[in-house]
């Protein structure tokens, strides 16, 4: 394990009978953008709150640079809670300076950082406004500034993109990428799977408090069964029935997406397709993260 890694090691958490986390384990490496996804109630917020130390774990450990996260280490983490944690009546700039000082910055440094981040995040005109007078999207920008003000070594962000307009998504994305490029591990939760797929280096899909798939989107695809997209305009229904291990997933007009069981020879399928007449398309179908996610969720239902 490299030193600059945030390790989430077998975290378990119960609320009475409810198992919120069951040995949740993964790591986020230096310079990496890690997308943390899962259904509502899967355990994302619980994991992040434990990692930040605002919630106690029943068992397991969170480590940063090989050492358990403690009070001092926590000051090196930038955290954006899902419930948002700003003081509504405090002015934007004052609030950021105050939060910077809480993290141990001297006032002049905190003021300079508040100037820089409000500028960078498009809030320069709003510095003297009370937070409660800002739109939700702008409050979220302030929340991001609050997570960044003390130049943290690690970023843990709970749904930072929810409710942002496309311009704000771009600003948020470039800031997070910049922090990762500077060496920080960046973990964020999101239900916007297209964005996660486009943006993250690795993705962790959790289900019922456990990590069930973790890796690059390509690696996650590697675990999925091979799917092929075939356009056979002259085919009659049942044209592929003779080949065992081929399952029709969807059909739109003459375009079929089929799934092949392990060991099924795709060339036999191609021969069957050619036997129907012209074949306009025959290509591996690369499932999007949304589809991979649905597969994981449907396994949950099937269990």
Ligand X SMILES: Nc1ncnc2c1ncn2[C@@H]1O[C@H](COP(=O)(O)OP(=O)(O)OP(=O)(O)O)[C@@H](O)[C@H]1O
18 binds ligand X (CB under 6 A): yes
Report the residue number, 80 or 114, with the smaller CB distance to ligand X.
80
Give the per-residue contact string, 133-172, with ligand X (x = CB under 6 A; - = no).
----------------------------------------
Question: What b/e sequence results for 139-152 when a residue is b if at least 16 CB atoms lie within 10 Å of its CB, and e otherwise?
Answer: bbbbbbbbbbbbeb
Report the residue number, 36 or 117, with the smaller CB distance to ligand X.
36
Rounded to 5 degrees, φ, ψ at 38 are 175, 160
Integer Cα distance of 214 and 217 in angstroms:
9
Interface segment toward ligand X; rule CB under 6 A; list 39-47, 73-81, 196-204, 281-289 = 39-47
81 binds ligand X (CB under 6 A): no
Report the residue number, 45 or 95, with the smaller CB distance to ligand X.
45
Closest separation between CB of residue 169 and ligand X, Å?
Answer: 18
Integer Cα distance of 123 and 97 in angstroms:
14
Structure tokens at 254: 């003459």
Using an 8 Å Cβ cutoff, are 239 and 233 in contact?
A: no
Interface segment toward ligand X; rule CB under 6 A; list 38-46, 210-218, 233-241, 269-277 = 38-46
Closest separation between CB of residue 13 and ligand X, Å?
Answer: 8
190 binds ligand X (CB under 6 A): no
For residue 137, count CB atoms less than 10 angstroms from its CB and return exposed for 0-12, middle for 13-18, buried for 19 or more: middle
15 binds ligand X (CB under 6 A): yes
Structure tokens at 124: 């320069």
Closest separation between CB of residue 189 and ligand X, Å?
Answer: 7
Helices (H), 24-106: 44-52, 71-74, 92-102
Report the residue number, 20 or 147, with the smaller CB distance to ligand X.
20
Integer Cα distance of 33 and 180 in angstroms:
6
The only residue of 24, 34, 38, 145 in contact with ligand X, by rule CB under 6 A? 38
H or E segment and range at residue 297:
helix 289-302
Integer Cα distance of 147 and 152 in angstroms:
8
Interface segment toward ligand X; rule CB under 6 A; list 34-42, 133-141, 241-249, 275-283 = 34-42
Binding site for ligand X (CB under 6 A): 15, 18, 20, 38, 40-46
């Amino acid at each position: 394990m490299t030193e600059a890694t945030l390790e989430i090691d077998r975290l378990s958490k119960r609320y009475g009978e409810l198992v919120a986390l069951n040995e949740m384990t993964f790591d986020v490496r230096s310079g990496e953008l890690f997308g943390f996804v899962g259904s509502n109630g899967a355990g994302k917020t619980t994991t992040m709150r434990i990692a930040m130390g605002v919630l106690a774990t029943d068992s397991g450990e969170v480590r940063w640079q090989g050492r358990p996260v403690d009070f001092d280490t926590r000051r090196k983490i930038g955290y954006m809670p899902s419930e948002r944690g700003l003081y509504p009546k405090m002015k934007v700039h004052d609030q950021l300076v105050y939060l910077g000082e809480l993290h141990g910055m001297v006032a002049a440094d905190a003021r300079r950082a508040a100037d820089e981040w409000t500028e960078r995040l498009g809030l320069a005109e709003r510095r003297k406004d009370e937070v409660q007078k800002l739109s939700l999207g702008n409050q979220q920008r302030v929340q991001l500034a609050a997570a960044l003000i003390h130049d943290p070594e690690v970023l843990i962000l709970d749904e930072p993109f929810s409710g942002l307009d496309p311009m704000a998504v771009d600003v948020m994305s470039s800031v997070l990428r910049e922090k990762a490029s500077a060496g920080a591990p960046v973990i964020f939760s999101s239900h916007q799977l297209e964005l996660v797929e486009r943006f993250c280096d690795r993705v962790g899909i959790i289900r019922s408090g456990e990590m069930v798939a973790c890796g690059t989107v390509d690696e996650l695809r590697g675990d999925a069964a091979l799917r092929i997209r075939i356009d056979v305009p002259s085919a009659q229904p049942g044209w592929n029935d003779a080949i065992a291990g081929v399952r029709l997933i969807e059909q739109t007009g003459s375009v079929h997406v089929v799934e092949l069981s392990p060991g099924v020879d795709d060339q036999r399928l191609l021969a069957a397709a050619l036997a129907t007449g012209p074949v306009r398309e025959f290509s591996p179908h690369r499932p999007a993260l949304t589809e991979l996610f649905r597969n994981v969720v449907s396994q949950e239902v099937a269990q």
